[in-house]
């Protein structure tokens, strides 16, 4: 069945057609690892996980690349201020390298906790410095760069359609920002290579043909996607904030170097909002997945919550909606678990499900279909098999979920119960009764069964 995806380049739904026959290239901009990821970031990775699962559900083999930005992302996306990694290091007293390792590991763990598929490949900016330098050299040879005292810059005036993805009004932007230009020729120009500040060594810096320094933030994605997916691949994703700067700049670099707009489809996940503004790391006001878990929320309930909103609309976070999602997920799991096993999917429901997900990932409608299926007259084992198939895309882990076993008996209670048995063996009935009374005050009793005795809550 044909897949339709919303492409932000053309600003419309387009039928998806893979560029190659053997794999679909999917590149997703990864985190800047100077702090914990927040549940807003994770919403974007959930959308990308659903996209990948949808492609796989349709029979495509997906080459899914996620980068780790561990250098070069400055405090302002417009290439000003401190490097976020160096700043994180200064604040925490740990090295930039240690911070990158630590937050990358926590981030990857969050993805696993949310049942996301492992990317085919992770790639780190700091491990691809020579590829980035080589890319900049080509841009230089083709006349797209200029140097100033601060670094090597991309000259956006050299491209007529610079910023097309964001429908940027370049004249308007330049007129409004003449004073803040500094040494840049145009406000949209961006750094390809920044020089280390004189006299103060950075932790992350490298030699280059232009001088000691570090790569700009945008060049890593152009260089690494070209290396692992070729310079023209199927789908590039990120959050909506990337449209106007980061992705516009990635495209500019690729057009200049390879003559392609990098990816055939440009797809963006819309924000998770907290109190009506973007949840963001730099504002410091954010919720981590662990924060939800500490509040007794099952992380998969957060996944479920995200599935109930379309990826192209913003989602306002609130705790009531999250606990509603937790209740719904609990009901779904109980219903699924109670059904008898079966192998045969219902073809009508499967076709309807495929139609929803293939229509630009209409997952909220697919979730509605789940509930409709459960209420339908379909045979119970068919229901289970069909739901299991749906879950290949939804990723709620229905097939592996187990109802919680009865709460574990505390060690002290188990010890008391064993003591009681010992007194009984010794025919010390008074002592055995005393322990039984004590157990009772704690809310437990010992029951004799055919297999022996067990201790259980009263």
Ligand X SMILES: Nc1ncnc2c1ncn2[C@@H]1O[C@H](COP(=O)(O)OP(=O)(O)OP(=O)(O)O)[C@@H](O)[C@H]1O
Over the range 355-380, which residues count as b (16 or more CB within 10 Å of their CB) and which as e? ebbbbbbbbeebbebbeebeeeebee
- Partnered with residue 206 across adjacent β-strands are 213
The pattern of x and - marking residues 249 through 278 that bind ligand X according to CB under 6 A reads --------------------x-xx-----x
8-state DSSP, 71: S
SS3 letters across 231-267? CCEEEEEEEHHHHHHHHHHHHHHHHHHHCCCCEEEEE
- C-alpha 254/C-alpha 225 separation (Å) is 10
230 is in an annotated binding site: no
Q: Measured between alpha carbons, how far is residue 424 from residues 172, 411, 437, 449 in Å?
A: 90, 20, 14, 16
Binding partner of 88, given ligand X, Zn ion, none, CB within 5-8 angstroms per partner class: none
C-beta of 139: minimal distance to Zn ion in Å? 17
Question: Which helix (H) or strand (E) segment is 402 a member of?
Answer: none
Does the protein bind Zn ion through residue 224 (CB under 5 A)? no
Residue 29 touches Zn ion, criterion: CB under 5 A: yes
Q: Is 250 annotated as a binding residue?
A: yes
- Say which entry of Zn ion, ligand X, none residue 221 contacts (CB below 5 to 8 A, set by partner kind): Zn ion
Q: Work out whether 221 is an interface residue with Zn ion (CB under 5 A).
A: yes
Among 239, 245, 326, 385, binds ligand X (CB under 6 A): 239
Measured from the CB atom, the residue of 31 and 231 that comes closer to ligand X is 31
445 binds, among Zn ion, ligand X, none (CB under 5 to 8 A by kind): none
Beta carbons of 439 and 413 less than 8 angstroms apart:
yes
288 binds ligand X (CB under 6 A): no
CB closer to ligand X out of 18 and 74: 74
Out of 43, 128, 382, 420, the only residue in the binding site for ligand X (CB under 6 A) is 43
Quick one: which segment of 12-20, 27-35, 419-427, 441-449 binds Zn ion (CB under 5 A)?
A: 27-35
CA dihedral 283, 284, 286, 291 (to 10 degrees): 180
Task: Check residue 218 for interaction with ligand X (CB under 6 A).
Answer: no
Smallest gap from Cβ 219 to ligand X, in A, equals: 16
Residues 6+ apart with CB under 8 A from 457: 406, 407, 443, 444
Our CB check for Zn ion shows the closer of 133 and 243 to be 243
Residue (213 or 238) nearer to ligand X, CB: 238
Cβ atoms < 10 Å from Cβ of 415: 10
- Reduced to 3 states (helix: H, G, I; strand: E, B; else coil), residue 376 is coil
Among 40, 151, 215, 299, binds ligand X (CB under 6 A): 40
310 touches ligand X (CB under 6 A): no
CB atoms within 10 A of CB 114: 20
Return residues touching ligand X (CB under 6 A): 29, 31-32, 40-41, 43-44, 238-239, 241-242, 269, 271-272, 278-282
Residue numbering of the annotated binding site:
29, 221, 246, 250, 281
């Amino acid at each position: 069945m044909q897949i339709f995806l919303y492409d932000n380049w053309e600003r419309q739904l387009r039928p998806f057609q893979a560029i190659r026959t053997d794999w679909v290239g999917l590149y997703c901009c990864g985190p800047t690892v100077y702090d914990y990821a927040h549940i807003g970031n994770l919403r974007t990775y959930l959308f990308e996980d659903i996209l990948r699962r949808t492609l796989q559900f349709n029979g495509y083999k997906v080459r899914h690349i996620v980068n780790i930005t561990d250098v070069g992302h400055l405090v302002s996306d417009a290439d000003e201020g401190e490097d976020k990694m160096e700043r994180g290091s200064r604040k925490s007293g740990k090295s930039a390298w240690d911070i990158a390792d630590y937050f990358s590991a926590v981030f990857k763990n969050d993805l696993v906790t949310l049942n996301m598929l492992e990317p085919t490949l992770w790639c780190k900016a700091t491990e691809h410095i020579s590829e980035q330098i080589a890319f900049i050299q080509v841009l230089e040879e083709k006349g797209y760069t200029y140097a100033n005292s601060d670094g090597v810059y991309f000259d956006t005036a050299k491209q007529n359609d610079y910023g097309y993805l964001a429908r940027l009004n370049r004249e308007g932007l330049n007129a409004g920002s003449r004073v803040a230009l500094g040494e840049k020729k145009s406000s949209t120009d961006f750094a390809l290579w920044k020089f280390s500040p004189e006299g103060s060594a950075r932790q992350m810096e490298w030699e280059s043909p232009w001088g000691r320094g570090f790569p700009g933030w945008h060049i890593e994605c152009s260089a690494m996607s070209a290396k692992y997916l070729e310079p023209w691949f199927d789908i590039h994703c990120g959050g909506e904030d990337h449209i106007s700067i980061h992705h516009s700049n990635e495209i500019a670099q690729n057009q200049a170097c390879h003559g392609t707009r990098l990816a055939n489809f440009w797809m963006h996940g819309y924000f998770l909002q907290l109190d009506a503004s973007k949840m963001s790391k730099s504002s410091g006001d954010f919720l981590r997945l662990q924060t939800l878990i500490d509040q007794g929320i099952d992380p998969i309930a957060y996944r479920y919550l995200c599935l109930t909103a379309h990826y192209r609309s913003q989602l306002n976070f609130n705790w009531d909606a999250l606990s509603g999602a937790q209740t719904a997920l609990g009901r779904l799991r109980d219903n699924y678990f109670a059904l008898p096993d079966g192998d045969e999917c219902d073809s009508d429901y499967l076709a309807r499900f495929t139609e929803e997900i293939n229509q630009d990932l209409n997952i909220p409608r697919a979730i509605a279909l789940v509930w409709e299926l459960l209420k339908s007259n379909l045979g119970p084992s068919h229901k289970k098999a069909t739901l299991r198939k749906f879950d290949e895309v939804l990723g709620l882990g229905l097939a592996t979920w187990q109802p919680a076993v009865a709460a574990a008996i505390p060690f002290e209670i188990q010890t008391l119960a064993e003591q009681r048995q010992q007194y009984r063996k010794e025919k010390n009935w008074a002592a055995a009764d005393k322990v039984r009374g004590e157990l009772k005050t704690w809310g437990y009793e010992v029951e004799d069964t055919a297999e022996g005795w067990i201790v259980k809550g009263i």
